[in-house]
Amino acid sequence: MAYVAIENLYKTFPKSRSAKATEPLAPADPIGSAGAVLKRINLTIEDGEFMVLVGPSGCGKSTLLRLIAGLESITAGTIWVGDRKVNDLPPKQRDTAMVFQSYALYPHLRVYDNLAFGLRRMGADLRQVLPLSAGEQGAALPPTPGPDSNQELEQMLAQTNRWQTLLAALTRPLPVALRYQSQAEQLIDQRVQAVARMLQIDSLLDRYPRQLSGGQKQRVALGRAMARNPQVFLMDEPLSNLDAKLRLETRAQIVNLQRQLGITTIYVTHDQIEAMTMGHRIAVMNQGQIQQVAAPLDLYNTPANRFVAEFIGSPAMNFIPVQVQAPYLVVHEEFRLTLPSPWEDRLRPYDRHSLWLGIRPEHLSLALPAPKNICAQVVHQEALGSETYLTVKTPSLTLQARVPPDQAVALGTEVWLAIAPDKLHLFDPATDRSLLQS
C-alpha cells in the first residue's frame, strides 16, 4: 500500500481533434493553463485512505483519475505513488488497478479467467501479489497455502515449463474444475478463489459476463482489481449503472472491503450522497480545480466557499442577499437578524457591505411572526413520509425548508420561517469565500 501525492498538476487537451496530444503549447503559456481542464491540482491521499473526488459533470474528475492510472499524459506537475514518481511510467508499472463504470470485462472469458487475467500476465512478478503470510495479505484474505518462502515460490514459477503452460492453455476452455493447472496456475487459483469468496461470486466462476446481472458484473470488475493486490484502487463511477437498491448494497460492500483491505482508494463520483457516505475525505472539484478537501461532515458544516456550500447537501443550501450592520446585525428588506457574538470580529470589516447569507433547508423552521423571521407563502410541498420539504416564496426570495412530517401545511398558506442563527453561513460576494475561512 502507498500514499498518492499530486503536485502542481495541469492537464491540457489539444484544441482540435486533428491536433496531436503531444503538440507543443505556446511558449508564453507552456502548460496551456488558460485552457487547461485541470489547473494546479495539489492533493495528497494518505496510505490506506479512501478519497472521493466529487464535482459536477465536466469538472475533470475522470481526467485526474486517468492521469494517476497513466491512461493520459501529464501536461505539467508530478504524481507520486509511494516514493515512486510515476509521471513517465506506463499504466502496468504504476501498481494501480482501475474499476470502470462500464465494468470493462472480457466478454469471451469466464468470470474465473477475468479474475485471473491480470495475474497470468504478471509472470515472475506474481510473487509481488501473492504474499506468503496471512499478515502480509491483510486481515481479509485467508493465508495462501503453498511455498514457505519467496525463494521457493520463485523456483516454482521458474519450474513451470512450456509443456505445462501449453497444457494449461489447451484446457482453459473447459470448466474450471476440469482444467490442467500448472504450479503457477495453482497459485493463481488460490488467489482467484479467495477473492471470489470474499465478493460472494464463487458460484459464478464458470459463467461468461453476458450471463451476469449488472451487480454481479460490478463485483467481478472489483474482484479483478483486487486479485492483483495493487497499491492503489482507482474507481471511476463504478456504481452508476446499478439500480438504486443495488447501488446502496454495493456502496456498503465497497466501503467494507476498502476498510478491511486498507488499500489506498481514489473514487470518482458526481453523486454527493456517495461522496458523503464512502470517503474518509472528499475533494470537491469545479472547473478543473479543487475547491476544498475535508472530511464529509466538515465539508457539510464548514464549506469553504459558495460552490461547496451549494454542491454538498440535498436539497441545496438557500442563499439570501443581506447587508451587514456591524457589530451583529444582518439586514434584508424582509427581515433583520441579530447574529451570535462570535460573529463580531468577522463582520466588522464588512460593515455596510453586502454578503450572501447561506442557510440549509433543515435550519429553517416554522415560527411565529417576528421581525427576525421571514414571511412567505407555501408554493410547493414534497411529503416524503419521514420529512416534508416546503418551497416557499416571498416578494424577493424562493426558499426551501425541511420540516417534520407532522408540520406539513397546505399550498398557498402563509408561514413564518425562523433562521437558526448558529447554523447560518456568510459568503463574501467578491470572492465567494466563506467568512469563516478568512
Binding site for ligand ATP (CB under 6 A): 13, 37, 55, 57-63, 270
Among residues 60 and 223, whose Cβ is nearest to ligand ATP?
A: 60
Among residues 58 and 142, whose Cβ is nearest to ligand ATP?
A: 58
Q: Cell numbers 447587508 label which residue?
A: 323
In 94-186, which ranges are E strands? 96-99
**CB of residue 58 vs ligand ATP: minimum separation in angstroms?**
4
Among residues 62 and 291, whose Cβ is nearest to ligand ATP?
A: 62
Beta carbons of 292 and 308 less than 8 angstroms apart: yes
**CB of residue 19 vs ligand ATP: minimum separation in angstroms?**
10
3-class secondary-structure state, position 286: strand
Among residues 63 and 216, whose Cβ is nearest to ligand ATP?
A: 63
> How many Å apart are CA 390 and CA 393, to the nearest integer?
10
> How many Å apart are CA 195 and CA 224, to the nearest integer?
9
Q: What single letter denotes the amino acid at residue 436?
A: L
**CB of residue 60 vs ligand ATP: minimum separation in angstroms?**
4
**CB of residue 113 vs ligand ATP: minimum separation in angstroms?**
30
CA atoms within 13 A on the CB side of 404: 3
Among residues 72 and 362, whose Cβ is nearest to ligand ATP?
A: 72
Beta carbons of 351 and 435 less than 8 angstroms apart: no
Nearest alpha carbon to residue 426 among 296, 309, 334: 309
Instruction: Please name the residue ranges forming H helices in 262-355.
Output: 272-278, 296-301, 306-311, 344-347
Q: What single letter denotes the amino acid at residue 438?
A: S
**CB of residue 62 vs ligand ATP: minimum separation in angstroms?**
3
Among residues 187 and 266, whose Cβ is nearest to ligand ATP?
A: 266
> How many Å apart are CA 158 and CA 170, to the nearest integer?
20
**CB of residue 211 vs ligand ATP: minimum separation in angstroms?**
29
